Amino acid sequence: MTTQIPILSAEEAIQAAETFRTQLAASSNRRDRQRLLPFDEIEQLKRSGLLAIRVPKAYGGAELDLQTFSHVLWLLAAGDPNIAQAVAPQFTNLEKLRLYGSPAQQQRYFTQVLAGSLMSNAAAEKGGNHIGDVQTRLLRTPHGWRLQGKKAYSTGSLYSSVILVTALHPDGGRAAVFVPNDRQGVRVLDDWDGMGQRTTASGTTEYDDVVIEDEEILPIPAFGQRRTHEGGFAQLIHCAIDAGIAEAALAEGCRYGREHARVLRESGVESATQDPYVLHTVGEMAIITHSAQALLERGARLLDRALPGSFAPTPEADRWLAEASIAIAEAKYATTHASLQVSEMLFRLGGASATTAGHNLDRHWRNARTHTTHDPVSYKARAVGDFYLNGSLPPINTKI
């Protein structure tokens, strides 16, 4: 197998992510203000090897542990959470492929990723009574398989070559379908207009009688009935992005406090860096941010321990997977709180000038508020409470 991208060690991956964090942070303000889609930056990420760090070793990949993975994604999000979110579907797709793919499918798509390919996904739809309802259908016709439907929030699809589309299977249940972006009948629209995460390319995708080959269909058996690491892994990604937003807001607050903030005469000091209230604010921002990061790391560590149980189910494995889900629910609650609170608190460090468009400090809160709408964290707190108080395992789904 020819590999076109580097296979990174854990240390190399973190170092590369640190470099990207600095690079992305330097231009994130401009991209947000002008809504400049980061095609070049994502191409650089594709070539770096970072988007392949979860490809299994059996197929030539690095298969880095989840603590390293979450650290990498957190660093990318601290640089620009739009870019971290735009590439995140690649990783959930790889885990789906590990869980449900045939050996031939795994060989095909893992090889593509190791050659620098990017996969996005299209799962969510508008309408229906419940979040997660699906109307997109895989159809069996006299001329072969066809895909018909419309998806909202197809994150990263403008940057990808393959979209993994969730659809109803005619034999019952759901399937994930690998659909090339350029196939006839596929339309990828740049119509995402959220107030935050503006450059994630989370727009609409449409599938009009799209031809699908047998090997492009990934059945998902027993959807929502067998506990795996899939849901916890997806939530870990959201935690890492939220934690990165908090870190970015903290860094921005420190920079603003050093370079722009002015002090009241009543403070008795000459610099904002000496003002006790500024120091208190920054200290509280740091404590909230780093507390959330600690829970993110704990969740990743427990999911690392539990992950083998996805492939060899036992009562003990089920328990470990459930405990990891609870730990990640705690992390999601904390990182949601941190991203929202810290991004709001940075305005305490400046006067009216902190609200000007040039500084664009509100992008951190807009990013946090937009991204944290993904999941109902109140349900996470309820599940955590039920686990500790009553010993109840969390439900088997992708939200908790």
CATH code of 167's domain: 2.40.110.10
Contact by Cβ (8 Å): 138, 168: yes
Contact by Cβ (8 Å): 8, 62: yes
Q: Do 48 and 151 fall into the same domain? A: no
Closest CA to 119 of 36, 170, 55: 55
Q: Do 300 and 203 fall into the same domain? A: no
Q: Do 155 and 293 fall into the same domain? A: no
Q: Is residue 124 part of a domain?
A: no
Q: Would you give the DSSP letter of residue 126?
A: S
Contact by Cβ (8 Å): 257, 278: yes
Counting the structural domains of the chain, the total is: 3
Q: Do 242 and 360 fall into the same domain? A: yes
**Final residue before a domain boundary, out of 220, 255, 281:** 220
Two structure tokens written together for 255: 């920079």
The CA–CA distances, whole Å, from 300 to 175, 186, 230, 281 equal: 27, 36, 13, 29
Q: pTM for the full model?
A: 0.95
Q: Do 330 and 311 fall into the same domain? A: yes
Residue 385: CATH number of its domain? 1.20.140.10
Q: Do 259 and 376 fall into the same domain? A: yes
Domain range for 141: 137-220
Q: Is residue 357 part of a domain?
A: yes
Q: Is residue 4 part of a domain?
A: no
Closest CA to 202 of 94, 96, 92, 82: 82
**Residue-wise pLDDT tens for the chain (400 aa)?**
455 899 999 999 999 999 999 999 999 999 999 999 999 999 999 999 999 999 999 999 999 999 999 999 999 999 999 999 999 999 999 999 999 999 999 999 999 999 999 999 999 998 877 777 899 999 999 999 999 999 999 999 999 999 999 999 999 889 999 999 999 999 999 999 999 999 999 999 999 999 999 999 998 876 567 899 999 999 999 999 999 999 999 999 999 989 988 887 787 888 888 899 999 999 999 999 999 999 999 999 999 999 999 999 899 999 999 999 999 999 999 999 999 999 999 999 988 888 999 999 999 999 999 999 988 899 999 999 999 999 999 988 656 6
Burial 36-46 (b: 16+ CB within 10 A, else e): ebbeebbeebb
Contact by Cβ (8 Å): 220, 235: no
Whole-number Å distance between alpha carbons of 142 and 144: 6
Q: Do 251 and 315 fall into the same domain? A: yes
Residue 35: CATH number of its domain? 1.10.540.10
Q: Where are the alpha helices (DSSP H) in 57-180?
A: 66-79, 81-100, 103-114
Q: Do 50 and 196 fall into the same domain? A: no
Contact by Cβ (8 Å): 73, 26: no
**Final residue before a domain boundary, out of 65, 86, 118:** 118
Torsional class of 156: left (φ above 0), alpha (ψ -120 to 50), beta (otherwise)? left
Q: Do 21 and 68 fall into the same domain? A: yes
Greatest alpha-carbon pair distance for the chain in Å reads 82
**Complete DSSP assignment for 366-380:** HHHHHHGGGS-HHHH
Whole-number Å distance between alpha carbons of 266 and 200: 44
Q: Is residue 55 part of a domain?
A: yes
Q: Do 68 and 201 fall into the same domain? A: no
**Final residue before a domain boundary, out of 166, 189, 220:** 220
Q: Is residue 273 part of a domain?
A: yes
The residue length of the chain stands at: 400
Whole-number Å distance between alpha carbons of 118 and 318: 32
Q: Do 70 and 144 fall into the same domain? A: no
To which residue do tokens 């080959």 refer? 213
Q: Is residue 270 part of a domain?
A: yes
Q: Is residue 294 part of a domain?
A: yes
Whole-number Å distance between alpha carbons of 195 and 59: 40
At residue 393, what is the residue type? L
Q: Do 331 and 352 fall into the same domain? A: yes
Q: Is residue 395 part of a domain?
A: no
Give the list of residues 6+ apart from residue 287 with CB closer than 8 angstroms, or none: none
Q: Is 325 exposed, middle or buried (0-12, 13-18, 19+ CB in 10 A)?
A: buried
